[in-house]
Structure 1
Amino acid sequence: MHARPPFDATAARRLREALGMTPAHVAYGMFAAYGVRVSPTTVAAWEQQEEAPGEDEIAALAGALWCAPSDLLGTPRTLREHRMAAGVPLADVAIKVGIPVAQYEEVERTGRWTGNDRQAAVLADLLRLPPRTHLELTGRDARLREMLRSAASVRWQAYVRPVCKLLPAVPQPNVERVLERLNDEFHKRSFASLSWIDTSSEAANGSVDAGHRYLADVVEHFWELLEAL
């Protein structure tokens, strides 16, 4: 069973008041236009954070308040919550992504992505997922981490296409610039203390540790550099 989605009670009350509506007006609008029956008391309880609406109720409430579902939700955390924020029914997502409805429902329930890269790209576009969120929610962030570690420490050019395949929304020139920068930064740290003047084991160990620390946080470095472009 799904947990209740995050709900912004303050936003719901503000939107209702801006429209000059009472909880009774909202309840009537939800039933008249969307067939979702709730009492004015329930609407008021949502606004007081005493209760929380479910997925169908949020969709109907958004319609009654003339807003998008995302306006009534807190920060989406799961694939289901991002779908709700985008206002797309579960069955529509499954059909457009190209997987059986039952399979997609299981993805949302378990949090384990079972589609392929092409389907993941369609999902990201349909739900307007930011690249980082997209990778995390489809469980492919570990693949990116391994690619970035290799790109930083070996030949970055060989990883441009694989990274672009994982992040189709990111322009290739941006990926190239960031991978080159990661590679440059890693080698600067790794060999900063290694020179013909100082070849002591202590200096060598320090430079190796600096390189290892950089690789340990390589994903964070990647997103920071990408956002800075």
Structure 2
Amino acid sequence: MRRSTASESRQPGPPFDAPAARRLRTALGMGPEHVAYGLRASYGLTYVTPDLVLGWERGLSTPSGPEVTALAGVLWCSSGDLAGRPRSLREHRLARGLSAEDVARAVGLEFVAYAGMEESDTWRGTERQAALLAGLLELTLPEFVGITGREPRLAQLLRSTVTARRATRVRAVARLVPVDRRPLEAALKALRESYRERTAVVPDRYDGAADERGDGAGEFLDRIVEQFWWVLATLPDESWARPGGGGYGS
């Protein structure tokens, strides 16, 4: 069996589901010391201690790719059973088993430029490159908006839309979310109505004191992006679900 080198073990790993690792270990009746011994004896990870195993399970540190593979072997499961939900551009890439070079080449970026985007967790590609990225990594629309850094601006626009007295901001939202106009208008209208049901006063702007405006208004505004995706998901036509469904990048 091939043994991981120290440098490989230090490489950043894929998203890790710490609670799943603990559940699998306890289901097997193993203590952290048994897992650590298995990793040392069978996989050559001589530095692994029971404390390190507990650190992984408590989310204090994240195992690398080779460490996750070895841990899955010790716990008699697949690496997928230990995979958490990807949250960053790098984690989505790793979840698809792609190298940074593969992604850079596929979307038409210089490797150094793409690597810098992963390092800073900030997408700076063109609209066309963004569409290629979404297709390559099989991103849902919420994932796409999140990893390209558009979510804070989207939240701001959605709050402004639901609390405004008059015009909605369909065009501004459409610049961030590649959705056809009809479902986008329907979603924004539904958000406004839902917000109005929660408060008798509709302020001109979100000022951080929404909890005092009415029952549930503050929590609604705090979770406005989540509410937006939920409303879109309830619409009958889900062609918007992936970037490109509304002609994005064309």
Shorter-chain TM-score bucket reads 0.5 to 0.7
The aligned residue for residue 128 of structure 1 is 138
Q: CA–CA distance in 2 between the matches of 1:142 and 1:225?
A: 18
Contact 2:198 2:217 in 1 (8 A): no
Question: RMSD in angstroms over aligned alpha carbons?
Answer: 4.4
Contact 1:69 1:84 in 2 (8 A): no
**Cα distance, 1:177 vs structure 2:** 1.4
Q: CA–CA distance in 2 between the matches of 1:70 and 1:97?
A: 26
Matched, 1:191 2:200: yes
Q: CA–CA distance in 1 between the matches of 2:153 and 2:231?
A: 19
**Cα distance, 1:125 vs structure 2:** 1.9
Contact 2:159 2:224 in 1 (8 A): yes
Contact 2:14 2:95 in 1 (8 A): no
Contact 2:15 2:83 in 1 (8 A): yes
Count of equivalent residues: 184
Unaligned runs of 5+ in 2: 1-9, 25-40, 57-61, 70-77, 203-209, 236-250
Aligned pair in 2 of structure 1 residues 70, 137: CA closer, same or farther (>3 Å)? farther
Look up the SS of the partner of 1:109 in the other structure. Answer: helix
- Length-normalised TM-score, structure 1: 0.59
**Cα distance, 1:145 vs structure 2:** 1.2
Q: CA–CA distance in 1 between the matches of 2:94 and 2:226?
A: 28
The aligned residue for residue 114 of structure 1 is 124
Matched, 1:209 2:213: yes
The aligned residue for residue 167 of structure 2 is 155
Look up the SS of the partner of 2:228 in the other structure. Answer: helix
**Aligned residues: percent identity?**
35
Contact 1:70 1:85 in 2 (8 A): no
Q: CA–CA distance in 1 between the matches of 2:104 and 2:119?
A: 14
Q: Deviations over 1:135-190 (max 9, x none)?
A: 2222111111122123222322x41x44334222x454332211011122334444
Q: Say which of 95, 103, 114 aligns to 1:93.
A: 103
Higher fraction of helix: 1
Larger radius of gyration: 1
Matched, 1:41 2:50: no
Unaligned runs of 5+ in 1: 14-38, 60-67, 194-205
